[in-house]
Structure 1
Amino acid sequence: MLTPITVLCAAGAASLYASGSLQIKRSLNEGATKRRAIAVTNIAMALWALPLFFISRGDFELTAWLTAVGAGVALFLGRILSVKSLEVGDLSIVGPLLGMKTLLVAIFSFATGQSELTKWLWGAAILATVGVVLIQRGPRKFTKDRREAAYYAAGASVLFAACDILVVEARGQLGIGWLSPTLFMTVALLVPLLGKSPPPPESAKKPMYLGSAIMGFQTSLVIFLIGLTGQAVLINIVYASRALWTVIIDRYYGRGEGVAAFFKWRLAGAALLVAAIIIVIFQR
C-alpha cells in the first residue's frame, strides 16, 4: 500500500499536470511550435531528475540500465503524441484520454501474468469506453479535430504505460539514483531528433517555459514515485485524478464558454474513466 505522503505527492502531480498542460496549450495557441514545446519540456524533465543521481544508486546492471533507456524512448515518443493531441484538441478531451494510461498499466500487468482477467476488469473497460464517448461530445464542426486528438492521446497513453512498466522492471537492480536520471537524460538526448524549430513568439514564451517547468517537475515526480515504490498501478490511480482536473480547468481557465455547452458530458465521461481505474485498482 502507499503511504499518505506518497498519495499526496501523486495527487499533487495530477493537479500540476492539468495546470502545466493548460500553459503548454496557451503557448501553442500563441504561436509556439510543438517541437519547441516538446524540446523545452524534455530538457526540464532531465534537469529536475538529475539531482537524483547522487542518491540511492544500486549496483550498475547493463540489462536494467538498457531497460531504463527503453523507458526513456517510450516517454520521448509519448511526449510527441501528447503535445500533438493538445495542439489539435481541447484540454478537457486530451487530459482524460491520457488518463487511460492507468487502465493500460493495469492491463499490461495482468497480461504479464501477475493477475488474471476478471469480470471487474471487463466492467472497467466498458466504463472507460463509455467515458471516452462522452468526453468526445462537442460541436459537429470540431468532430475531426476531436477524433484526431483522441488518436494521438490514445497512442501517448500506450507509450506512457509501457514506460511505467519498464520503470518497475528496472528499479530493483538500478535504484532510483540510476533509473530516473538515465530515463530523463535519454529523453533529453533525443531532443535533436525533433529537428530545428523557430524561437517562440514573445507572447508564447512565458506560458511555454512555465508549462514546461511544471510538466517536467510533475513527470519526474511520478516516475520517481513509481521507481521508489514499484507500485505503478497504485500511483497511477491517484494520478488519474488529472482527468477531472483537466476538464474543470479547461472549463474555467481555458476556453471557457467554448467548452461550456458540453462541460457536463465531458465531466461525466472523465468521472467514468476514473471509476474504471478505481475498479481495476481494488481488484488487484
Structure 2
Amino acid sequence: MPVSLHLLIPLASSVGYVAGVLLLKRSAAFGIGVWRTTFLANILHAVCIAPAWALGPGHGEGAAWWQPIVAGSLFFIGQVATFNAIERGDVSVATPVLGSKILLVALFSALFLPDPVPLKWWIAAALSVTAIALLNRQPKRAHGTVATTAMAPTILSALGAALAFACCDVLVQKWAPAWGPGRFVPLMFGSLALASFALIPVFRAPLREIPQPALPWVLGGATLLGLQAVGINLTIGIFGDATAVNVVYSSRGLWSVLAVWWIGHWFLNDEKKLGSAVLRFRLIGATLMLAAIGLVLV
C-alpha cells in the first residue's frame, strides 16, 4: 500500500524534534534551567500555531469548551516531563524512550476510538521493553559497577511524557473534527501557554537574566519544537490516523542516536564519550523500537 503524502509531515517533524532537542541541550550549558526552557518552548508552541486559525472552524457537533483545555493540559504534562528527561540525562536515551508513545497511541486508540488491538501489537510492546533495556545500558566503572546516574529519572520522565502525549494525540483525533483543526489545535496550544505561567515561581532566575549567548540556542530549539508539534497535531487533526502518524514520527529515536554520534560534540553534548560499545547497544535498542513501531503499522 503506498504511503500517504501527509506522512511526510511527521517525518519532517521527527528531524525537527531531534534538532530542537540538541539546541536546547546546548542552551542548558548556560544554566537556563528546565523550567524557563519549558516556559519559552510552550509559549512558542502557541505562537507557531497561530496562523492555523485561518483554516476555519469544523462542523461543531459534539464540541465542548473543556476539550481543548484537557488536551492542552495533557500536552503541558508531557512537555514538563520531556524537558525534565532531557535536563537530567542523555538525549540518545530520552528520545528513543519517547518513541514508546506509538504503542500507547495504539492502546488508547483501541480504548477511546475504539480500534481492535491485534496480537502483533503486544509483540511490538515486548520488543519495546527489550529496546528500553538496551537503551539503559551504561559503561562500567573501574570497580565493575554500572554508571546509573540520572538514568532512572530520565527513563521514567520520558515514559510519563509518552503517556501524556499519546493520550493527547488520540483526543486530538477524537475531538478536532468537531472544532476544526484551525480552532482546536490553536486553542489547545493557547491553554498550554496559559498553564505554563504556573512555572514562573520555580524559575531559578527571571527570564530577563538569561545570558545573551544562550538566546539563539534556546529560542532556536524552542521554535523547532513548536513547529514540529504544529506539524504533528495539525496532521492528526486534519487527516486522523494518529497511529500511522506516530509510527513515522517515532523515527526520531533513530535520528537522535545518529545525531549524537555524528554531530553531538558541536552542541557540547558529550554522550559520544560514552564509547562506541554503549552507543552501539543504544542504536540496536532504537532499531528494535522502530521494528516494534513497524509491527503496529503493517
Same fold (TM over 0.5): yes
Superposed CA deviations along residues 124-153 of structure 1, whole A, max 9, x for unmatched, are 011000000001111356413111100000
> Is residue 2:279 matched to residue 1:269?
no
**Residue 145 of structure 1 is aligned with which of 150, 167, 173?**
150
| 1:209 aligned residue | 219
8 Å CA contact 1:180–1:224 kept in 2: the answer is yes
8 Å CA contact 2:104–2:162 kept in 1: the answer is yes
How many Å separate the matches in 2 of 1:203 and 1:253? 20
Secondary structure of 2:210's counterpart equals coil
8 Å CA contact 1:46–1:184 kept in 2: the answer is yes
Superposed CA deviations along residues 264-283 of structure 1, whole A, max 9, x for unmatched, are 1001100111111110122x
How many Å separate the matches in 1 of 2:109 and 2:28? 35
8 Å CA contact 2:63–2:178 kept in 1: the answer is no
Identity of aligned residues (%): 31
Q: Structure 1 residues 237 and 80 mapped into 2: Cα distance closer, same or farther (>3 Å)? A: same
| 2:50 aligned residue | 50
Superposed CA deviations along residues 51-72 of structure 1, whole A, max 9, x for unmatched, are 1112231245674442222111
Please report how far the alpha carbon of residue 182 of structure 1 lies from its aligned counterpart in structure 2 after TM superposition: 0.6
How many Å separate the matches in 2 of 1:113 and 1:230? 11
| 2:176 partner amino acid | R
| 1:250 aligned residue | 260
Superposed CA deviations along residues 6-46 of structure 1, whole A, max 9, x for unmatched, are 12111110001001011111111321111111111111110
How many Å separate the matches in 1 of 2:2 and 2:43? 29
Note the 1:1-284 alignment, pairs <5 A: 4-60=4-60, 63-112=63-112, 114-140=114-140, 142-196=147-201, 197=203, 198=205, 199-254=209-264, 255=270, 257-261=272-276, 262-282=278-298
Stretch moving more, 191-200 or 160-169: 191-200
Q: Structure 1 residues 139 and 64 mapped into 2: Cα distance closer, same or farther (>3 Å)? A: farther
8 Å CA contact 1:65–1:182 kept in 2: the answer is no
Q: Structure 1 residues 61 and 187 mapped into 2: Cα distance closer, same or farther (>3 Å)? A: farther
Please report how far the alpha carbon of residue 216 of structure 1 lies from its aligned counterpart in structure 2 after TM superposition: 0.6
8 Å CA contact 1:171–1:230 kept in 2: the answer is no
Secondary structure of 1:144's counterpart equals coil
Secondary structure of 1:190's counterpart equals helix
| 1:82 partner amino acid | T
| 1:173 partner amino acid | A
Q: Structure 1 residues 210 and 145 mapped into 2: Cα distance closer, same or farther (>3 Å)? A: same
Extract unaligned runs of 5+ from structure 2.
141-145, 265-269
8 Å CA contact 2:105–2:243 kept in 1: the answer is yes
Q: Structure 1 residues 37 and 273 mapped into 2: Cα distance closer, same or farther (>3 Å)? A: same
8 Å CA contact 1:124–1:276 kept in 2: the answer is yes
How many Å separate the matches in 2 of 1:217 and 1:192? 21
8 Å CA contact 1:52–1:181 kept in 2: the answer is yes
